[in-house]
Structure 1
Amino acid sequence: MINKTTALPSTTLTRRALLGSAAAGLALPAWSPAWSQFRVEIAGVGASRLPIAINDFKDESVTGQMLGAIIRADLERSGQFSLVPGQPGMAETSAPQFVDWRARAADALVAGSATRLADGRFDVRYRLWDVVKGQDLASESLPVVSSDLRLAAHKIADAIYQKLTGDRGVFATRLVYVNKIGPRYSLRVSDADGEGEQTVLASPEPIISPAWSPDGQELAYVSFETRKAVVWIQDLRTGRRRKIADFRGSNSAPAFSPNGQQLALTLSREGGSQLYLINRNGDGVRRLTQSPSIDTEPVFSPDGASIYFVSDRGGAPQIYRMPAGGGSAERITFNGNYNISPSISPDGRTLAFITRVGGGSFKLCVMDIGTGQVQQITETSDDESPSFAPNGKLIVYATRAGGRDVLMTTTLDGKVKAKLATPTVADIREPAWGPFGN
């Protein structure tokens, strides 16, 4: 039996708690809507960061958005950049004095402007310079409606990030998570920096285990609104949702296959909690595991060939891997006697998971799947639910800080972390980072 032994508030239902109840039927308490406008607090120093100056955009005040500040926060959170103070009044049409910027120790420079167009939209423009070489690197004009101004800033940050690192940026992607205020729960979607929250579902009963479809248009999740665990899929464009698993016993831990046509999930309809495959329309149910133990928390490898999952078949919860179509499972984690919540990087090379240290501290670790080398990357003691950014360079996870549940992002080496802070009345858990292009 997989047991949860850490002391958590009795009103908090988490994925880790679900592991302790998976075989027994879940009569569980309740969580709710949250507050918008996260603030980001950066902590830590990366090994090598590119110094960049990002000026406030000229006339950005007409937009009601601090475009330069949004871009600065995005790039700083990535762990790849250090910020050099900007110069008031610069725009993308300015002629930088590169000697002066080199003296300020800036290797790259960004300036831009915002102009209101006759049709009510805004033309947001920027230019990126290589200070060392004294040349233009990129420029763009983005005509957007007012509601897309923050998205435009995130897209500019993505373009800068990709130009300077060679990797695709993730600032215009989205997060999903569960909020709790008092006795109510809500499923929320926000920008990758936590701003722009929208409620997907509000309920007086728990909501857990949200998972993105590969195209970012749907969410699978577990809701207890009927007083039992049921798996739903909801279309984010229309709000329409449908039950896909409402069998006898518990239905939990959904995860989309990379092609989006199937989900792996945990069902107890035949007794113990085992892994199953199910088509996205709810038919074609097929059992994958045949063990007397609890098998749960399945996730697909990026190529769809394997499923990683948690099982106590060895006496304590560990992470295993098996062919996606079923077959023999091999144990993956060996450090410690309690390892749960697997998340696989988009390149399939790194496993993020939660390990128990000592009697009751739960910490985020990453493992090189090829070598088995494990690194603990957090100092907090109640970490949960890691999820990779779609470029594999950051991880979002839930933890407990200041007496409440919060979200953090971290670089894979743990050297640069950002807390997405909300008002103290909100508890935030179960994050999942959405795919590109959503």
Structure 2
Amino acid sequence: MKKLLPVTVLPSSSSFNARRTLVAALASSPLIPALAQFRVEVSGVGLTQLPIALAPFKGQDASPQKISAIVQADLERSGQFRGVDASGQALDEASRPDLTLWRQRTADSLVVGSVSKLADGRFDVRFRLWDVVRGQDLGGQSFTVPQGDLRLASHRIADYVYEKLTGEKGIFSTRIAYVTKGGSRYSLWVADADGENAQAALASPEPIISPVWSSNGSQLAYVSFESRKPVVYVHNVSSGQRRLLANFRGSNSAPAWAPDGNSLAVTLSRDGGSQLYTIAASGGEPRRLTQSNSIDTEPVFSADGSTIYFVSDRGGAPQIYKMAASGGAPTRVTFSGSYNISPSVSGDGRWLAYISRVGGAFKLHVMELSSGNVTAITDTSADENPSFAPNSKLIVYATQLGGREALMTTTLDGKIKARLAGQAGDIREPDWGPFQKQ
């Protein structure tokens, strides 16, 4: 993924199916453009949504990307914003808008801007944000970008607007990883948070599972069956280079990065049964964490690295447990439901997302860790693999809609959902990457 060129700030005038746990095989390939694009379909109404107007950016009719439409889709998908009709207005970042008009249109805020092609083929993108209610100019930025980064520039604008108006960091310029199956071909993709601008990182005629981002977003760990057994590799996203991490006797699966990036937790059966270990990111001899006669798998670290959540059937059926990252006696976390798998912990440490089997259906649930209160937030029946956005406000997960697998994002209360509908096969195994460096 290319980075944006330096930003100019405009002067102001005043954010089991258990990861299909043990099957994969991948063949490394150079990054190539995605053949399929996605459309974002937002549904649901939140209790409080900020009304915002996105005026068509001046010059965007001649641009390959409709900047204002991308920004509006980002903001609406967050569940925090509701779009207000901005048609019929010709404004740019230098305009002094008639804020009375926008108040009459019920907008609380207004984004205006422009996009123009420069002589060297790059594009100049500028915007400004207005607080309509208070009559304040909240500033803006400009970007000079190649054509391929116009969407990224749009996501950066959405991040700016989101943070200014909510006080939380925006996540629209982050990336997700996911797997598709089309015919007999499996591919691992890296895409923008809205599913667009996808690039293939890996491809294989064999299944691909368990991709997981490192904390700095530079690497993905995954499981491969290239050696006719599950093996863990680490893949450098920018260079396409990969290295072998875990290839011990038996199965090697379910990698999870420690927040400091220096080690990973993995599930190994080298000593009999599936148990949890940690291993240095550079490889080497693993250190065993669990000592049980049960299946222990799907480890995930808490954001501070002190705790590992994992799935175990030590109580007779799969449930989620936690223990110190250095090992020790586990504590059971989930009690409602007889089958709970695929834990994901929010970056702020407040929430646990997981999949619970309810009457034969697999549904996404969210637990508030401080109280233990659990909420089922989907009405689908084949949910899997939840992953939190880095600002802890959204969850991406895979599910089945209309007989096809698809990616969804949802707010934590389940009220706002967005479908990322692919055209090139079934979609699964999503993992939401960390914040990107500006």
Same fold (TM over 0.5): yes
Alpha carbons of 1:243 and 1:363: their partners in 2 closer, same or farther (altered >3 Å)?
A: same
CA positional deviation for 1:14: 5.3
Instruction: State the Cα deviation string for residues 270-329 of structure 1 (Å, max 9, x = none).
Output: 110000000011113111001000000000011111100000000000000001011000
Secondary structure at the aligned position of 1:40 is classed as strand
Matches within 5 A, 1:312-391: 312-358=313-359, 360-391=360-391
Is residue 398–residue 429 contact of structure 1 (8 Å, CA) maintained in 2?
A: yes
In the alignment of these two chains, the number of paired residues is 417
Distance 1:364 1:186 in 2: 25
Partner SS, residue 155 of structure 1: helix
Which residue in the other structure is 1:7 paired with?
Answer: none
Q: Give the letter aligned to residue 403 of structure 2.
A: G
TM-score (norm 1): 0.92
Aligned residue for 1:142, secondary structure, equals strand
Moved more, 331-340 or 140-149: 140-149
Give, as a single letter, the amino acid of the residue that structure 2 aligns with 1:407. Answer: L
Query: Matches of residues 204-353 of structure 1 in structure 2 within 5 Å?
Result: 204-353=205-354
**Which secondary structure does the structure 1 equivalent of 2:436 belong to?**
coil
Structure 1 pair 27–149 and aligned structure 2 pair: CA distance change class (3 A): closer
User: Is the CA contact 2:19–2:209 (under 8 Å) kept in the aligned structure 1?
Assistant: no
- How far apart, CA to CA, are the structure 1 residues paired with 2:19 and 2:408? 18
Match of 2:180 in 1: 179
TM-fit CA distance, 1:117: 2.0
Q: Where do 5+ consecutive residues of structure 1 fail to align?
A: 1-12
Quote the residue 2:52 is aligned against.
52
Q: Deviations over 1:251-275 (max 9, x none)?
A: 1000000000000010011110000
CA distances 1:384-433 after superposition (whole Å, capped 9, x unpaired): 0000000000000000001110000000000000000112x510000000
Question: How far apart, CA to CA, are the structure 2 residues paired with 1:283 and 1:56?
Answer: 55
Partner of 2:18 in structure 1? 15
Distance in structure 1 (CA, Å) of the matches to 2:24 and 2:174: 35
Q: Is the CA contact (8 Å cut-off) linking 1:14 and 1:429 kept in structure 2? A: no
- Residue 420 of structure 1 aligns to which amino acid in structure 2? L
Aligned mates of 1:352, 1:236 — CA distance in 2:
26
TM-score by length of structure 2 reads 0.92
In the aligned structure 2, how far is the partner of 1:126 from the partner of 1:405? 37
Residues 398-409 of structure 1: matches in 2 within 5 Å? 398-409=398-409
* Counterpart residue identity of residue 408, structure 1: M
Deviation at residue 17 of structure 1 after TM alignment = 4.5
1:36-115 to 2 correspondences below 5 Å: 36-87=36-87, 88-115=89-116
Distance in 1, matches of 2:39 and 2:19, equals 27
Task: Report the alpha carbon displacement of residue 63 of structure 1 after superposing the two structures with TM.
Answer: 2.5
Answer yes or no: is the 8 Å Cα contact 1:248–1:269 preserved in 2.
yes
Aligned to 1:413: 413
Retained in 2: the 8 A contact 1:15–1:208?
no
Question: d(CA) in 2 for partners of 1:251 and 1:243?
Answer: 11
Task: Name the SS for the 2:71 alignment partner.
Answer: helix
1:329-371 Cα shifts (integer Å, max 9, x gaps): 000000010000000000111100000001x100001001111
Deviating more after overlay: 128-137 vs 171-180: 128-137
The whole-number CA distance in structure 2 between the counterparts of 1:276 and 1:61 is 54
1:303 & 1:373 partners in 2: Cα distance? 22
SS in 1 for 2:226: coil
Residue identity (%): 62
CA distance in 2, matches of 1:309, 1:269: 18
Q: Which SS does the other structure have where 1:164 is aligned? A: helix
State the distance in 2 between where 1:62 and 1:401 align: 36
CA distance in 2, matches of 1:319, 1:27: 24
Q: Which residue of 1 is the match for residue 429 of structure 2?
A: 430
Deviation for aligned residue 1:61: 2.7
**Do the aligned partners of residues 120 and 35 (structure 1) sit closer, same or farther apart at CA in structure 2, a change above 3 Å counting?**
closer
The code of the aligned residue for 2:18 comes to R
Query: Unpaired segments of 5 or more residues in structure 2?
Result: 1-15
Partner amino acid, structure 1, of 2:434: P
Question: Contact 1:205 / 1:227 at 8 angstroms: preserved in 2?
Answer: no
C-alpha contact (below 8 Å) 1:35/1:422 kept by paired residues? no
SS in 1 for 2:100: helix
**Equivalent position amino acid for 1:417 in 2:** K
1:223 CA drift (Å) = 1.4
Task: Give the RMSD, CA atoms, in angstroms.
Answer: 1.9
CA contact (8 A) 2:19 2:210 kept: no
Distance in 2 between the 1:226 and 1:52 partners? 53
- The CA deviation string for residues 219-255 of structure 1, in whole angstroms up to 9 with x for no partner, is 0001122221110001111111011011111110000
